Amino acid sequence: MTRENASIGREATALVMLILAVVAVSAWLRLHGAGLGCEEWPACYGRNFSHEDYRPPALARAIHRLVASLALLLTLYLAWRARTLRPRPPWAPPVFALLGLMLGLAAVGGWSHDPRNAAVNFVNLVGGLLLVPISWRVMRNAGTDAHFPHGPRSSLVVAGIAALLATVTLGAWIGASHAAVDVSAAGVALHWLHRGLAVLALLLLGQAAWRRLDARAARALLALLAVELVLGVLLVVGDFPLLIAVAHNLTAALLLAMAWQLPGQPDNPHLSPLADDKRLD
């Protein structure tokens, strides 16, 4: 690896860290504003929105501004470097996509400050989560110096990623529309669909990871899926503690990033990665 590639790799890793920090602080600010973990639960849920003078904690807002600005500046710098390099490096397309998404989110954020607006909350939440897999791809492509993965994904991987995306989309809608304690028939159905899809994602991605990844990556993906399910259960049985909800959000972003790394080669039914450390790619 050239010195230039090594420095891009370090910058891309720093970008992933900054974006994870942005996602975590954004989730904390939004869920704190919604009242998760407040005393007198659930009567206090959503109460802040009726107080016009509600202001999120100044320190959290300052940290959010700082890390989000640093992430945007680093992305702009990487996009500028990608534009000047010939041939175009493999990390260029995800950097351009990342910049476009960040600018789109900045525009949406400036467009509405009303925390009760579920549609805007939803777009912000899903867009913010997607920053993680895209920046992760920048880091992977910078580190391997190659386009990754190398081929079409199998139907098992596609189905697993689709189930995960559907789980995240429903979860994001529950969070964005402040339906965490919605006990109407529609609300209960939404919650059960979210849980059912989560189990389906576990089964499909678990199977895909088992067949297609090296042992360490397969274990990491399976462990992360298990952690996410446990966090979801703890959210419900623990009366929605704020930090568990933030961890649930962050783990969803990491899962999206890891699922996207599932390589695109044909399955090898004879290789059980948990028993064999050989890489397929």
Q: What residues make contact with ligand HEM under the rule CB under 6 A?
A: 27, 31, 125, 164, 167-168, 171-172, 174-175, 180, 194-195, 198, 201, 225, 228-229, 232-233, 235-236, 245, 248-249, 252, 255
Are the C-beta atoms of residues 125 and 108 closer than 8 Å to each other? no
Residue 148: helix, strand or coil by DSSP?
coil
Q: Where are the alpha helices (DSSP H) in the chain?
A: 3-34, 58-84, 92-111, 118-144, 155-176, 185-212, 215-237, 242-260
Measuring CA to CA, which residue among 70, 72, 67, 85 is closest to residue 8?
85
Residue 25 CB, nearest approach to ligand HEM (Å): 12
Q: Give 171 or 263: the residue with its C-beta nearer to ligand HEM.
A: 171
Say what angle helices 155-176 and 242-260 make with each other, to 10 degrees: 150
Euclidean distance between CA atoms 192 and 195, whole angstroms? 5
Smallest distance from ligand HEM to CB 68, Å: 16
CA-nearest of 163, 29, 10 to 77 is 10
CB of 32 or CB of 194, closer to ligand HEM: 194
Alpha-carbon gap, residue 19 to 114, rounded angstroms: 24
Pick 99 or 245: Cβ nearer ligand HEM: 245
| Least spacing, CB of residue 127 vs ligand HEM, in Å | 12
Q: Which is nearer to ligand HEM, 33 or 171 (CB)?
A: 171
The minimum distance between CB 19 and ligand HEM, in angstroms, equals 15
Residue of minimal Cβ distance to ligand HEM: 175
Smaller CB separation from ligand HEM, 124 or 141:
124
**Beta carbon of residue 171, minimum distance to ligand HEM (angstroms, whole number):** 2
Beta-carbon-side half-sphere exposure of residue 275 (alpha carbons within 13 Å): 5
Q: Which is nearer to ligand HEM, 27 or 123 (CB)?
A: 27
Instruction: Note whether 220 and 258 are within 8 A (CB).
Output: yes
Q: Shortest gap between Cβ of 11 and ligand HEM (angstroms)?
A: 28
Half-sphere exposure of 229 (CA within 13 A, CB side): 17
Question: Residue 27 Cβ, how far from ligand HEM at the closest point, in Å?
Answer: 5
The whole-angstrom distance between residue 202's C-alpha and the CA centroid of its chain comes to: 16
Of 95 and 258, the one with the shorter C-beta distance to ligand HEM is: 258
